[in-house]
Amino acid sequence: MIESPTPQSGQTSANSTAPAARRLVLVGHGMVGQRFLEALVERDGGGAWQVTVLCEEPRAAYDRVHLTSYFSGMSADELSMVPAGFMDEHGIDLRLGDPAVAVDREARTVTARSGETFGYDALVLATGSYPFVPPVPGHDADGCFVYRTIEDLEAIEAWAKTAKTGAVVGGGLLGLEAAGALRAMGLDTHVVEFAPRLMAIQIDAGGGEALRRKIEELGVTVHAGAGTQEIGVADGRARTMALSNGETLDVDLVVFSAGVRPRDQLARDSGLAVGERGGIVVDESCRTSDPAVWAIGECALACDGRVYGLVAPGYQMAETVAHELTGGAKAFTGADTSTKLKLLGVDVASFGDAHGAAEGCLEVLYSNSRAGVYKKLVVSADGRLLGGVLVGDAGSYDLLRPLCLAGSPLPAPPEQLVLPESAGGPVAIGASALPDEALVCSCHNVSKGAIRAAVAEQGCADVPAVKKCTRAGTGCGSCVKMLTTIVQDELAANGVEVAKGLCEHFEHTRAELFEIVQVRGITSFTRLIEEHGTGLGCDVCKPAVASILASLSNGHILDGEQAALQDTNDHFLANLQRNGSYSVVPRIPGGEITPEGLITIGEIARDFGLYTKITGGQRIDMFGASVDQLPLIWARLVAAGFESGHAYGKALRTVKSCVGETWCRYGVQDSVGLAIELELRYRGLRSPHKLKSAVSGCARECAEAQSKDFGVIATSAGWNLYIGGNGGMTPRHADLLASDLDRETLIRTIDRFLMFYIRTADRLERTAPWVERMEGGLDHLRAVVMDDSLGICDDLDELMQRHVETYEDEWRATLEDPERLRRFVSFVNAPGTPDPTVTFVAERDQIRPARPGEEGVSLPIEGSVDGPTAGLIAGPTLEVRTS
């Protein structure tokens, strides 16, 4: 039994003669055995090998990885790995229920249990492993099981019908699957793990704790750090279980899942070299100490000194031997043992150096006990990803594992790679971060570049086509999400459009959600996601739904549940700026303002030390306010008759105007008057994205109306309406929707256009892309809003009427309500002390945020030791130097 390699030589005579088919015996027909057969016949077109398979189980190879799905109704046939007719087609002699019992290497024969003897030229051992059952008293009583074969599961299922409490010995992958199965069969379920945490091999302490919490939530009791000492037996049946921590559990069903051992007995008996702790010793070509004998899968001790208990390395070994036997070469020197799986609904993944063993490495961590998420990345001192553990959310596994294997520098700050998607995590970074050589599907060795090529060069138009073409995603299936992203990106890059729901929580588009909210009268996010979505929502769907709710119900944006859905800008009804200060923009309809109004704004800016700038939308922006100043500033603005300009919101911003016929020698209509009317009509209208507008008084177009979401240009006969324009990153000239409209028709048309947009656009989709992607284009839009081709105009009109009637100024309402005001109270721990992280320097007679490395001053500083005392509202005490 001691490891003693027995070199065999001079045994090649059988090989050297045979123009006829040589004989190959495969011992074991599990997943790896079957993969070996497939790889062999694929390469052995001429039928050089005549194959006999000896299989111990009564059925041909089946999917042991998904064994547990047998309990959820998957039949043994459905689990089968063998395509119909495979054996006949390739002339393979499969002997079920007839295991090999002896090998005579001298004679090159294998004897089966049936007594039949098979000569071989090549022998491949794929005997797999057996479950380890700790030798505790009572371990062989009735009611004790292992979890390995379909027969084991059938027996457990039968026994469980009369059982009440089950215990699983072993908190590894298989043990937790078994526990899930027992739980699903209605048993009170315990997991007993000797190590101090669950899945001790794959994940670290923090990950184990997160997993434990998740699993206990499912009603499974976990006893970690406890050994099984004895199974108490009565009438031959298991009744109790004594643990090393002193506990005793009443049980009537026990599943042992305490690890597996390589099945190397046949090899030992025939004198092949085996490892000290088991496993048939093989070299890089998976050949044993006998050159005519190979070993693959869980029974083999690979040349890197490891026994691989995962199917993917087993497949690689099968490929290696198939190459060897057909004149090729493909060394197996070791495999990536990264794993990702779903245990009882909990994602668990580990890859690379999961325990942070590397010298000088750093551990980047995100954990959230509420969400049951634990993510840890091990990063080398020079910033490469070495490994990681993901529990509760393994969505980023497909991105991180290839990054880890590629050894390339990280594409983003490590913190971003552990954050959830809703917070701009790795999926937001996307597959684009991966290099082309990164391995996406490790089962079939498919790189990102190969997937892109399948789309770009081989014309695959969807994921199934790419799967068929590259085989990617057809193994364990864990890479399908990443595969889908890469395929969609590549399709998009090639100009093919891909339909998508709003986010993972809603399968509906924003337009569909709008319909749902309106038709069903839904007024809260909670109800919408409960009835029409899944999960808790994210930063994609929450603001989108908040916007829909605001568009439809016109309630105050800071009320109730709504407040929590908003982003920062809406949260404080102001625009967050670079250094953490806020800017304030009062509405100045049409850009028309009285001298008193200007003076008020000037005085406020002066009193609060704010930087002022005229905006592109013909109003005045005041920068540099702290949150606690906002109500004070607005109190004065509101008292002077100003309203919120909604510069912070996805809503109507401004209606810009030229001075029009009132003053201008060229003007043909009162553009200012119309602009004011439009701005007052649509103020506060929440929409999928910001809305900008302008009115020009003549064809010279000084107000630039054709670069707006909706723009109006005066004609001698009325008004021309343009829609779908914008400036910004992708400028678009607006389209002429209708000409020479009278004022009433103009406004009605705009009403309908806006409501139709709000109702059907995607989240954060401005009018320009919305118009561009509209089927039927501008003609369709015209038909809908002018000819009522969809019969929805009454509905649109009513929605807009409700908006106009229920509009209230958000800032006035906020100031009147102490509850809403509470959120604006001073931020700093010493109230009144300037927030030292918000600093300014002087430039061109005003303040601006200090840049990194620049010594700025906090504002406001109230007075000085010897200086005068400032008022309660501090003025600008920053010395302004003109250089």
Partner 1 sequence: MIRRQIAVVGAGMAAARLTAQLFARDPGAAVTLFGDEAYAPYNRALLADVLTGRLPAGTIGLPSSAAQVRTGVEVVAVDTAARTLESADGSIAGYDTLVFATGSNPVLPPIRNLHCTSNTGEGGELKQGVHAFRTLADCARLAAAVPGARRAVVIGGGILGVSAARALAALGLPVEIVHQAPYLMERHLDEDGGAALHRALDRLGVAVYAENRAKSLHGTDRAEGVTLANGYRLDADLVVLACGARPRVGLARAAGLEVRTGIVVDDGMAASAPDVYAIGDCTEHRGVVHGLSGPAWEQADVLAARLCGAEAAYTGSRVGARLTAGPVEIAAFGDVDPVAGGAHDVIRLADPTRGSYKKLVLRGDRLVGAILVGDLATVGALTHAYERDEPVPADPLHLLIPQGAPQ
User: Which residues are near partner 1 by CB under 8 A?
Assistant: 362-370, 379, 383, 413-415, 418-420, 422-424, 536-539, 542, 564-565, 567-569, 575-578, 580, 627, 648, 690, 822-823, 825, 827-833, 835-837, 839, 855, 857, 861-870, 872
Of the two residues 360 and 595, which places its CB atom closer to partner 1 in the complex? 360
Q: Is 517 left (phi over 0), alpha (psi -120 to 50) or beta?
A: alpha
Evaluate whether 176 touches 184 at the Cβ level (below 8 Å).
no
CB of 433 to partner 1, least distance (A): 17
Evaluate whether 523 touches 530 at the Cβ level (below 8 Å).
no
Q: By C-alpha distance, which of 34, 91, 592, 58 is closest to 322?
A: 34
Of the two residues 148 and 223, which places its CB atom closer to partner 1 in the complex? 223
CB of 815 to partner 1, least distance (A): 18
Distance CA 349, CA 797 (A): 53
Beta bridge partners of 396: none
* CA 164 from centre of chain: 38
Of the two residues 500 and 578, which places its CB atom closer to partner 1 in the complex? 578
Residue labelled with tokens 């006969």? 717
CB of 728 to partner 1, least distance (A): 9
Vertex 785, ends 782 and 790: CA angle to 5°? 100
Of the two residues 449 and 580, which places its CB atom closer to partner 1 in the complex? 580
CB of 362 to partner 1, least distance (A): 4
CB of 850 to partner 1, least distance (A): 11
Instruction: Measure Cα distances from 615 to 296, 676, 849 in Å.
Output: 72, 17, 18
Q: By C-alpha distance, which of 699, 643, 656 is closest to 815?
A: 643
Of the two residues 107 and 381, which places its CB atom closer to partner 1 in the complex? 381
CB of 284 to partner 1, least distance (A): 37
Of the two residues 422 and 767, which places its CB atom closer to partner 1 in the complex? 422
Of the two residues 79 and 565, which places its CB atom closer to partner 1 in the complex? 565
Evaluate whether 548 touches 514 at the Cβ level (below 8 Å).
yes
Evaluate whether 1 touches 268 at the Cβ level (below 8 Å).
yes
* CA 464 from centre of chain: 21
Of the two residues 611 and 648, which places its CB atom closer to partner 1 in the complex? 648
For the beta carbon of residue 406, count every other beta carbon within 10 angstroms: 17
Of the two residues 64 and 656, which places its CB atom closer to partner 1 in the complex? 656
CB of 227 to partner 1, least distance (A): 23
Non-local (6+) Cβ contacts of 673 within 8 A are 590, 660, 662
Distance CA 128, CA 263 (A): 6
What is the DSSP track for 41-88?
HHH-TT--EEEEEE-SSSS--B-STTGGGGTTT--HHHHB-SPTTHHH
CB of 836 to partner 1, least distance (A): 4
CB of 750 to partner 1, least distance (A): 23
Q: Which two tokens stand for residue 700?
A: 């010279």
Of the two residues 462 and 862, which places its CB atom closer to partner 1 in the complex? 862
Evaluate whether 510 touches 544 at the Cβ level (below 8 Å).
yes
Q: Which two tokens stand for residue 492?
A: 């998009």
CB of 732 to partner 1, least distance (A): 17
Evaluate whether 385 touches 229 at the Cβ level (below 8 Å).
no
